[in-house]
Amino acid sequence: MRLLPAFLLLAEALLARAASPANLDPTVDLDTLADNSLFTRWRPRSHFSAPSGWLNDPSGAMYDPKTELYHLFYQFHSNHVDWGNMSWGHATSRDMISWTDVSGWADAEATALGVGPKGTYDALGIFSGSAQPVNLKGEADGTLSIFYTAISYLPTNWIIPYIESTETQAMATSKDGGKTWQKYENNPVIRAPPPGWNVTGWRDPFFLPWPEMDKILQKTEPHYYVIFGSGIRGVGPRIPFYSAPASDLTNWTFHGALFEVARNESWGGDATKTGSFGFNFEVSGVFSLVEEKQHGGDGKTLHYYVTTGSEGGEIPPYHPSGHWALWLEGEMSRRDNGSAQFDIVSSSAADWGNLYAITSFWDPKKKRRVAWGWTPEDMANYGIKAQGFQGAMGLPRELFVKKVHNVQAPATGVPEKSGATWKKDSKGTYTVTTLGARPLPDVLEGLRTGHAIKVADKKLTGQRFIANDKGQKFTGDSFELKASISNIKGGAAGFKIRASPDLEEHTLITFNPATQTISVNRDHSTLMPKFETYAVQGHFAPYTINGKTEALDFHIIVDGSLVEVFVNDRFAITTRVYPSRGDALHIGQYVAKGGEATFKNVKVYSGLKNAWPKRPLDSSSKLRTDTIEETNNGTWWSGN
Ligand X SMILES: *[C@@H]1O[C@H](CO)[C@@H](O)[C@H](O)[C@H]1NC(C)=O
Cα angle for residues 160, 161, 165 (degrees, 5° grid):
120
**Is 583 an interacting residue with respect to ligand X (CB under 6 A)?**
no
Site track 337-376 with ligand X (rule: CB under 6 A), x = hit: x-x-------------------------------------
In this complex, which beta carbon is closest to ligand X, that of residue 140 or of residue 262? 262
Shortest Å, Cβ 332 to ligand X: 14
**Is 276 an interacting residue with respect to ligand X (CB under 6 A)?**
yes
Q: What sign results for the dihedral spanned by CA atoms 465, 466, 472, 475?
A: negative
Shortest Å, Cβ 113 to ligand X: 8
Which one of 246-254, 297-305, 395-403, 555-563 is the stretch in contact with ligand X (CB under 6 A)?
246-254
Nearest CA among 169, 116, 119, 117 for reference residue 145 = 169
**Is 111 an interacting residue with respect to ligand X (CB under 6 A)?**
yes
Site track 143-172 with ligand X (rule: CB under 6 A), x = hit: ------------------x-----------
40-99: which residues touch ligand X (CB under 6 A)?
A: 85, 87
Cα–Cα distance, 288 to 471 (Å, whole number):
50
The pairing of strands 536-539 and 517-521 is antiparallel
Q: Which residue is nearest to ligand X (CB)?
A: 114
Cα–Cα distance, 122 to 117 (Å, whole number):
8
Cα–Cα distance, 50 to 619 (Å, whole number):
9
**Is 245 an interacting residue with respect to ligand X (CB under 6 A)?**
yes
**Is 333 an interacting residue with respect to ligand X (CB under 6 A)?**
no
Given a contact cutoff of 8 angstroms between Cβ atoms, the answer to whether 551 and 459 are in contact is no
The residue from 182, 253, 333, 601 that contacts ligand X (CB under 6 A) is 253
In this complex, which beta carbon is closest to ligand X, that of residue 335 or of residue 489? 335
Given a contact cutoff of 8 angstroms between Cβ atoms, the answer to whether 228 and 237 are in contact is no
The residue from 17, 71, 90, 255 that contacts ligand X (CB under 6 A) is 255
Gap between the terminal Cα atoms of the chain: 35
The residue from 271, 407, 509, 558 that contacts ligand X (CB under 6 A) is 271
In this complex, which beta carbon is closest to ligand X, that of residue 199 or of residue 563? 199
The residue from 75, 266, 359, 510 that contacts ligand X (CB under 6 A) is 266
The pairing of strands 199-209 and 223-232 is antiparallel
Given a contact cutoff of 8 angstroms between Cβ atoms, the answer to whether 573 and 537 are in contact is yes
In this complex, which beta carbon is closest to ligand X, that of residue 214 or of residue 626? 626
Cα–Cα distance, 599 to 553 (Å, whole number):
10
Given a contact cutoff of 8 angstroms between Cβ atoms, the answer to whether 455 and 603 are in contact is yes
The torsion angles phi and psi of 639, rounded to 5 degrees, stand at 105, -5
Query: How are strands ordered across the β-sheet holding 125-132?
Result: 125-132, 144-151, 167-174, 182-183
In this complex, which beta carbon is closest to ligand X, that of residue 118 or of residue 470? 118
Given a contact cutoff of 8 angstroms between Cβ atoms, the answer to whether 614 and 101 are in contact is yes
Number of residues that bind ligand X (CB under 6 A): 28
**Is 116 an interacting residue with respect to ligand X (CB under 6 A)?**
no
**Is 115 an interacting residue with respect to ligand X (CB under 6 A)?**
yes
Which one of 263-271, 287-295, 442-450, 548-556 is the stretch in contact with ligand X (CB under 6 A)?
263-271
Long-range contacts of 541-548, Cβ-Cβ distance < 8 Å, separation of 24 or more: 541/410, 541/516, 542/513, 542/516, 542/568, 543/404, 543/407, 543/408, 543/432, 544/407, 544/408, 544/410, 545/404, 545/406, 545/407, 545/408, 546/406, 547/408
Which one of 249-257, 487-495, 544-552, 578-586 is the stretch in contact with ligand X (CB under 6 A)?
249-257
Which one of 59-67, 245-253, 285-293, 382-390 is the stretch in contact with ligand X (CB under 6 A)?
245-253
Residues that bind ligand X (CB under 6 A): 85, 87, 111, 114-115, 161, 198, 233, 245, 248, 251, 253-257, 264, 266, 271, 276, 313, 315, 335, 337, 339, 626, 630, 633
